[in-house]
Structure 1
Amino acid sequence: MTRDYRSTVFLPKTEFPMRAGLAKREPEILERWKDMDLYRRQREEARGREKFVLHDGPPYANGHLHMGHALNKILKDVINRGQQMLGKDANYVPGWDCHGLPIEWKVEEGYRAKGLDKDTVDRVEFRQECRSFAERWVAQQTEEFQRLGVIGDWKQPYTTMAFSAEAQIVREIGKFLLNGSLYAGSRPVLWSVAEKTALADAEVEYHEHKSPTIWVRFPFRKAPSPSLEGASVLIWTTTPWTIPGNRAVVYGEDMDYVLLEVGEVAETSLAVPGERFLVATELEEQLLSDAGIETVRRLDTLKGRDLAGGILDHPFHDQGYPQDTPLLPGDFVTTDQGTGFVHAAPGHGTDDYYLGLEHGLEIPQTIDGDGRFLPHVPLFAGKVIYTQEGKDGDANGAVIKALMEAGKLLTKGSLRHSYPHSWRSKAPLIFRNTPQWFISMDENGLREKALAAIDETRFVPPRGQLRLRSMIEQRPDWCISRQRLWGVPLPLFVHKETGEPLRDQAVIDRVAEAFEAEGGDAWFTSPPQRWLGDDYSAEEYEQIQDVVEVWFDSGSTHSFVLEARDDLKWPASLYLEGSDQHRGWFHTSLLESCGTRGRAPYEAVLTHGFVLDEKSRKMSKSLGNVTAPYDVIDREGADILRLWVVASDFSEDLRIGKEILKYQVDAYRRLRNTLRYLLGALDGFDETEKVAYEELPELERWVLHRVHEIDRIVRSGCEAFSFHEIYQTLHHFCAVDLSAFYLDVRKDCLYCDPPESAKRRACRTVMDILFDHLSAWLAPILCFTAEEAWWARGKLKEAESVHLRTFPEIARAWEQPELAEKWAGIRQARRVVTGALELERAEKRIGSSLQARPAVYVEDPSLRALLEGEDFAEICITSDVELKAESAPETAYRLEEIPGVAVVVQEAEGEKCERCWQVLPEVGSYPEAPGVCGRCASAVAQQDAAAQ
């Protein structure tokens, strides 16, 4: 009479489900973390440990999170959790940038939608609207960041609009004011007509733009050689509106130029037969084609340096522009396009500006904040460069028409090229000379201090160091003033007679104390005398109404976050942002800190790339290729996004989309199923079952050697911020070492050996170790899943949360390189057997590998001895194995990369055991347990006895 043995098999049992259901389960875990106040518990556990402080670069509080936010915050959280697991106090304080154009522009949009003019609204009322707008989005983004699994001090974050922050920003400005670095100056800056303010480099984007091109004659007034008398120099520009601001023409000293005399011209050409002009030799052919000149005479050739001392007439010399126009050398002249001569307008370009300073040129102010020519500009007063909507105005057309009427236009055209635009309004920008407040890069050695600090900073990846260094080496003085409303007021007074700023610590202190209590609005609601005190008269000083640029705000966060909180440290261990922040937050934080404290506010800087779609295109609503974080979270769960972050090389641009996420879902399933199998196989395991290391079989000791290796990789990866390597290592360990090998080999033992079996106890001992380590290793990455698994293990008495643990310690004895080498050889031989079995299954000659008794031919005696010393049949998951020393038949299965091993698959002899499914001759020999093998008969008998 047969018996149903299914109830006697020790199958895995766990409440940890196969289907993750992360979208539903993760919010429940978040609530539990909130109830236990996990963040505070971490701080208590970590009290007294070495601090690791990743200082949060503040995002703008002005919209829902996009995938770039998700990448940034997840990466920060993975790093923080990894450092916490390493045994440090990784306290994370999130923050927000709340001032500046992005928020102000959003509030203005509300006015524009209602047809209202924001300039008619009370200044303080408008600022309060900006503050309320920012507060709403701080609250919204707080929820969205936490849903990603990011842990931090969400109850006490920092914001740049906090009164204490505004007060400290005033103090930081005061330091530059008092040491003489802050000065009022006039310099061309990138100006947004649409937003009526100067923009920082980090607020500028470059897009394709169609510009008019003109070739203009500048006649010689004083020729440097007789051959040039009566000739002209030709310039080319894509900004005709800058011609009124011209004060010089620039040549390349080592460039070759040719003097041409025009012969025949096309009917539509504006060239005049007999006229003479200079052009770079390399550009002659293109110029003649563009200008419709059919024949020329080459009168002379000369080097650029031969033009030294030449003086030209401005094209509008007789119409209000009588000044000399000197010919000057410049290293920014190229022969890529144009004529080889550059018209220099010192008020409309950086190179032109510094050339003007070097040669004492006038730096005129010709354009107002609305993009109009000022009233004093001859011919063009009131003409508009760009409208408030960012459209072309009438200035270019007016200049071109005047040049034609003056006989100075040789030809014109158009060009599509990369041109600066505002990142917010998307409107094109202009270089405009305007009074601003600057921090000098050289007055107190700020540039040298910053460069020295860069050399002392660790950069990940290292190329970031060269990028930031080149920017600091070349950057002009730092313009920190903005002609806007929403920001920290510049706490400055200027003496009306001398034009000098008031440098008095007492004034700065009064402003800072007031801002600490009332906020920056006090600057606009209080009489000037409040700040000046009894020592100065308000009638003698002008109170500045500009606000501080937002990049100074964020560059100062180290002072009112890191230095102000006892639970943090200065300098920060790490600053981490996108690669664009080399010209943004990394840059301005470096300058602010070096200017006030003499060193960088960070020990290391890590940069990540941008998020693109699956085809490596920038995401945009118009392309319909946007992958939003909340869509992924609602569909797959936040842990899938977290896995995507670490599975990608975040030092480069990252790609995301449905197909890419499918790979992460599959990878996640492998990791989750490994945890699930361990949990199920450990059902009922307790301390009394544990086996000492010395008593473990070799296979278990090999597993612990791998744990030792992986622990080293995980720890070094956390220190190196190399989570991509950690992910690859853990995934390979779960998929190859465990699922496809160790756990597969030991299934028979786990399911069918009796509970007191030494091998089964050893296996479960190692599986308990595996779970403890794997749950900890995965915790920084899959923060929700690792927690769920930890709770499912029922180990709350040890730690209420996996995130209150540190990485488990590793015994030195586990490192066994000789054992690893031995088992590498065994696994190679197993690969050949497995390949042969797969072929037999595909040919349907066998069903299960347990139906086979492969003959394994091994040429190497030492390898054969290793295999004979192990239960190679169990390792290959067959019912038996026959090891042979002789040569294998030609028909035997081989793998080219594993020479010396061949396999012939034979059918196993005997009957199938109804309990373990092995095919053995002994099956049926035990009347007390019919239909099973001897091992299973013994196991069943023990269970029956225990049940009585």
Structure 2
Amino acid sequence: MTDQTPDYKDTLNLPKTDFPMRAGLPKREPAWLERWEKIGVYDRLREKEGRPDFVLHDGPPYANGNLHIGHALNKVLKDMVVRSQQMMGHDARYIPGWDCHGLPIEWKIEEQYRQKGKNKDEVPVIDFRQECRKFAEGWIDVQREEFKRLGVTGNWPDPYLTMNFHAERVIAEEFQKFLMNGTLYQGSKPVMWSPVEKTALAEAEIEYHDHKSHTIWVPFKVVDVSENSIQHAMEVQFEGSDPIPGRQNAGNWDDVDMAKVRSEWVGTKVVIWTTTPWTIPSNKAVAYNPAISYGLYEITGRPEECWVRIGDRYLLADTLAEEVLGKARLEPTMFRRLRDVTADELASLTLAHPFRGLDGADGFWDYDVPMIDGDHVTDDAGTGFVHTAPSHGQDDYECFVARGWMDRMTHNVGEESEFLPHVPIFAGLQVFDRKGKEGKANAAVIDKLVEVGGLIARGRMTHSYPHSWRSKAPVIYRNTPQWFAAIDKPVGDGQDDYGTTIRQRALTSIDQLVKWTPQTGRNRLYSMIEARPDWVLSRQRAWGVPLTCFTKKGALPTDDDFLLRNTDVNARIAEAFEAEGADAWYKDGAKERFLGNIVNPDDYDQVFDILDVWFDSGSTHAFVLRDRPDGAMDGIADLYLEGTDQHRGWFHSSMLQACGTKGRAPYRGVLTHGFTLDEKGNKMSKSLGNTVSPDDVTKQYGADILRLWVAQSDYTADLRIGAEILKGVADSYRRLRNTMRYLLGAVAHYDDSQRVDPADMPELERYVLHRLAELDHVVRKGYAEYNFQGVFQQVFNFCTLELSAFYFDIRKDALYCDGDTARRRAARTVMDILFHRLTTWLAPILVFTMEEVWLERFPGESSSVHLIDIPDTPKDWLNEPLAAKWQMVRRARRAVTAALEVQRTDKVIGASLEAAPVVHVRDAEMLAALKSVPFEDICITSDVQLTGDPMPNEAFRMPEVEGVGVVFEKADGDKCQRCWKILPDVGTHQHPGTCKRCNDALG
């Protein structure tokens, strides 16, 4: 620029915006939260009439601690669902809720008591329950603020709580439906029992961890054999098998010494293997499988230190015999297989308990142990025979139920996993102590087996073992009277559209009524419900909703009148719970209050077990979806959304509960997400120091970065998070923020008076509108399918690759340097359209940032992007022929920009405007397309020559852009001091140092 050339900088239409490059989210986000609360965004959305409902029902978190990163993932996903559905035209309501009853809270209060030297059992139960309620209330307030800080929208002033009086009433009423429809029963059967928490647990409250267990191989001696077995042995002999002792001459039974045959069977040993030695004192049978091949094995040699003796005979599964005897330290040369043993023979054997005749046991174990068949027995591991203690195993129990042997159940183990006083030798010894550590029971049983010659081998193994979800302590199977919901008994309520039993209704619902995201969720829940036992409803605790029922004194659980089924009694209970909560059940005179003048209170006992908390949360559909005015019109949610562990938790219990009370699933859709892991893929643990706190992330980066991490992740698998991952997320955020900042500057002072109809726009703008129309379909489909990762990736790529690197790059020149031209007005119209699409597309994800962007352009006391729907996109914006043409243009542009980059790297040029390349195009259609558009503007060069001539050898080529060659040429002319293009006409116009376009713009 010479001294005579003016400085044209101030004449350019440079972007104008106060939108900051640095977000400062941690400090600024709380102000937006206050603003949304002040202007009542959630309530104002409810005022929009005529919109179809969309109800995401919140699975209640537990009110007992600060949020962890899994909570944040869950609530952010829910919020993105609700906000996107709202912005696509629904009335998307969200009622947050909390699970308030149950053991974890009760445990905390007990700990406080112990610290003060108080005993829970000495405190009036209502006082204790009130302290549990107060504890839950405190954490609800804490968690509510933590959830709100994440930008989660919802009816926060009026959440649902399972401990609200109305909720407790409905939970009791839902339980009474099981009472009245005949599916409730009391049974004595093995259930998962926590010795630490001293209560039964449901499958949903169990998780599996590695545990080191004792392993023992125990021989059960044959003490008797039926005639059938002897006869079979004779038949085998007559067919020419190995000799049977006692047979003198072939041909007839008269020559058989039956006593000697019997004596040869007696003393043979059936070997079992178990990882729970403590259950041996409760053994009542040994199981085999008729489908397994068994053999009789004899010991012919032995090492010096060994528990087997030469001449011992053992019955074993053939596939496991060598392994088992190897555990007993025998080489294969030290034993031999005598013959096959059939299922008929096994069925005829009677065994002795290993402790039979034990000194000091007073005959406690001097009973016969039968051999029974069972499909659960395998030859994959063990011995092919299963030690059966029906009070301590589900398969064992089912075998005894099938035979009607319920009188043979044992009650040998107490609530602290201790052997009860009536058990000889072992009374008082625990399996696990109150801290979940191994007690003395296993070692004592093993030592006694060694003493009586009841082992052939022992060891230790680490395997997956059930633990309490809450205490993290191992559990046991223990026979104890509990209340159950029968899932295979016909439900007497007449709601049989999807089946007559709870199981049938659940399986039908899974297949016919529910959409699963991802689809694998269907398989997981289906298989769980298909194989699950009856639902254990009762817990032996104090903080919860009681089983509101009465049993008749003197009646047996199998009697028809054992349970009081009376609608008037049920109504009284419901009315009391509505007014006073479930504490009414525990007040003095409660039984008389509920039964008086209806039945004689003296004839009945009041049940004081409390309901499984999964029944509480499984009932939420009734007091939230059904009863609340902002629930669901038909009482069914459009979506339940939780982690994959809820297939055995909330999804499961809600399905069973609703199928028992309303005949079908309470949801139409189920979405499951994975767990959160650290950056290396390890499970997070405080002890490892690899946890990531949502509070720490929001303080360092802001909640939008945490939300963006969720949106960028594949939630259907486990998600990793850590410092480096969050840095990458923050980088993506900055790039997106710069795109929005550019748009704000480009549309400054734009209004509808400058709008250009798409039909009058240049092709480039119409191509961008076509891409917008395509992307609008992708975004809506993605949000409808809850594919947030797909939505964000598509929008992000559009912003960075198609806008910043293409459209914005090309149109900067027109925006900055054009006067009031049709081209500039068209570009600004498209950028206004882009602004509205991008802010609303991204608002469900980046709730704070898109609000900031919106308010930068549309300030106002009641303005908010979250009150806006995603704009409808005209179908006529789609133009496939135009898009195909511009794909050719973009391919050719890539070849040109790559060729210029080589010149820039070699410092031949500093900027692309110094170039005027010659572009050789082999394809006639592409050449025509390039000639029909201002290709020099598209390539951001001062000029370009397009030719169909053969490309010279020196032409630059890109393998991926076949048929295009670029020969570099410098632009001819002088540099315009306003737009910096190098053109021949610069300096020939009124305004010094300008090209014609800039001269005209200056007027």
DSSP-derived class of the 1:762 partner: helix
Equivalent AA in structure 2 for residue 890 of structure 1: N
Q: CA RMSD in A?
A: 1.5
The runs of at least 4 consecutive aligned structure 1 residues that moved more than 6 Å come to none
Task: Report deviation, 1:262.
Answer: 1.6
Is 1:439 aligned with 2:491? no
Mapping of 1:370-381 within 5 angstroms? Answer: 370-381=416-427
Distance 2:66 2:859 in 1: 38
Is 1:322 aligned with 2:385? no
**1:655-689 deviations in Å (ceiling 9; x for gaps):** 11111122211221222211111110111111211
The equivalent residue for 2:849 is 785
Aligned pair partner of 1:452 in 508, 519, 527: 508
Q: Percent identity?
A: 55
The equivalent residue for 2:865 is 802
Indicate how the Cα distance of structure 1 residues 849 and 304 shifts in structure 2: closer, same or farther if over 3 A, else same: farther
Distance 1:436 1:638 in 2: 46
The equivalent residue for 1:425 is 471
Mapping of 1:347-746 within 5 angstroms? Answer: 347-361=391-405, 362-444=408-490, 445-456=501-512, 457-499=514-556, 500-527=562-589, 528-569=591-632, 570-746=635-811
**What are structure 1's unaligned runs of at least 5 residues?**
943-948
**1:488-540 deviations in Å (ceiling 9; x for gaps):** 11112111111412111222211111111111112111312111121223322
Is 1:900 aligned with 2:937? no
**1:551-600 deviations in Å (ceiling 9; x for gaps):** 00000000000001122211111111111111111111111111111111
DSSP-derived class of the 1:278 partner: strand
**1:158-216 deviations in Å (ceiling 9; x for gaps):** 00000100000110011100111111111111111111011121221211111111111
DSSP-derived class of the 1:436 partner: strand
The equivalent residue for 1:243 is 280
DSSP-derived class of the 1:645 partner: helix
Aligned pair partner of 2:143 in 141, 144, 169: 141
* Contact residue 316 and residue 406 of structure 1 kept, 8 A: yes
Aligned pair partner of 1:173 in 175, 185, 209: 175
Equivalent AA in structure 2 for residue 475 of structure 1: R
Distance 1:154 1:618 in 2: 31
Distance 1:675 1:613 in 2: 31
Distance 1:384 1:813 in 2: 77
Aligned pair partner of 1:201 in 200, 203, 211: 203
Task: Report deviation, 1:467.
Answer: 1.1
The equivalent residue for 1:946 is none
Indicate how the Cα distance of structure 1 residues 188 and 478 shifts in structure 2: closer, same or farther if over 3 A, else same: same
Distance 2:997 2:329 in 1: 100
Task: Report deviation, 1:337.
Answer: 2.6
Task: Report deviation, 1:306.
Answer: 4.3
* Contact residue 507 and residue 533 of structure 1 kept, 8 A: no
Is 1:939 aligned with 2:1001? yes
* Contact residue 174 and residue 505 of structure 1 kept, 8 A: no
Is 1:753 aligned with 2:756? no
Distance 1:842 1:307 in 2: 87
Is 1:883 aligned with 2:946? yes
Is 1:345 aligned with 2:345? no
The equivalent residue for 2:244 is none
Task: Report deviation, 1:909.
Answer: 1.4
Task: Report deviation, 1:79.
Answer: 0.6
Aligned pair partner of 1:774 in 838, 852, 863: 838
The equivalent residue for 2:329 is 292
Indicate how the Cα distance of structure 1 residues 61 and 856 shifts in structure 2: closer, same or farther if over 3 A, else same: same
Is 1:275 aligned with 2:312? yes
Is 1:331 aligned with 2:375? yes
Distance 1:716 1:795 in 2: 31
The equivalent residue for 2:51 is 49
The equivalent residue for 1:945 is none
* Contact residue 568 and residue 598 of structure 2 kept, 8 A: no
* Contact residue 254 and residue 305 of structure 1 kept, 8 A: no
Distance 1:717 1:686 in 2: 31
* Contact residue 569 and residue 598 of structure 2 kept, 8 A: no
Task: Report deviation, 1:844.
Answer: 1.5
Distance 1:413 1:774 in 2: 65
Distance 1:526 1:450 in 2: 40
TM-score normalised by structure 1 residue count: 0.97
Task: Report deviation, 1:725.
Answer: 1.2
**1:399-425 deviations in Å (ceiling 9; x for gaps):** 122222322222211111111111222
**1:449-498 deviations in Å (ceiling 9; x for gaps):** 11111112111111111111111111111001000111111112111111
Task: Report deviation, 1:116.
Answer: 4.0
Task: Report deviation, 1:109.
Answer: 2.7
The equivalent residue for 1:230 is 267
Worse overlay, 332-341 or 460-469: 332-341
Distance 1:303 1:852 in 2: 93
Task: Report deviation, 1:360.
Answer: 2.5
Distance 2:884 2:342 in 1: 72
Distance 1:200 1:834 in 2: 65
Task: Report deviation, 1:353.
Answer: 1.1
* Contact residue 258 and residue 280 of structure 1 kept, 8 A: yes
**1:273-299 deviations in Å (ceiling 9; x for gaps):** 211111111222222221123412322
Distance 1:779 1:306 in 2: 74
Equivalent AA in structure 2 for residue 135 of structure 1: E
Distance 1:616 1:115 in 2: 43
Distance 2:650 2:344 in 1: 42
Worse overlay, 580-589 or 329-338: 329-338
DSSP-derived class of the 1:409 partner: coil
* Contact residue 305 and residue 329 of structure 1 kept, 8 A: no
Aligned pair partner of 2:299 in 262, 267, 273: 262
The equivalent residue for 2:340 is 301
Distance 2:485 2:469 in 1: 24
Equivalent AA in structure 2 for residue 241 of structure 1: W
Distance 2:289 2:368 in 1: 20
Distance 1:842 1:282 in 2: 72
**1:325-356 deviations in Å (ceiling 9; x for gaps):** 11112222223332111101111111111111
TM-score normalised by structure 2 residue count: 0.92
* Contact residue 255 and residue 303 of structure 1 kept, 8 A: no
DSSP-derived class of the 2:672 partner: strand
* Contact residue 705 and residue 815 of structure 1 kept, 8 A: yes
Aligned pair partner of 1:871 in 919, 931, 934: 934
**What are structure 2's unaligned runs of at least 5 residues?**
231-260, 358-362, 491-500, 557-561
Distance 1:90 1:320 in 2: 66
**1:74-114 deviations in Å (ceiling 9; x for gaps):** 00110111110111100100000000112222222323444
DSSP-derived class of the 1:702 partner: helix
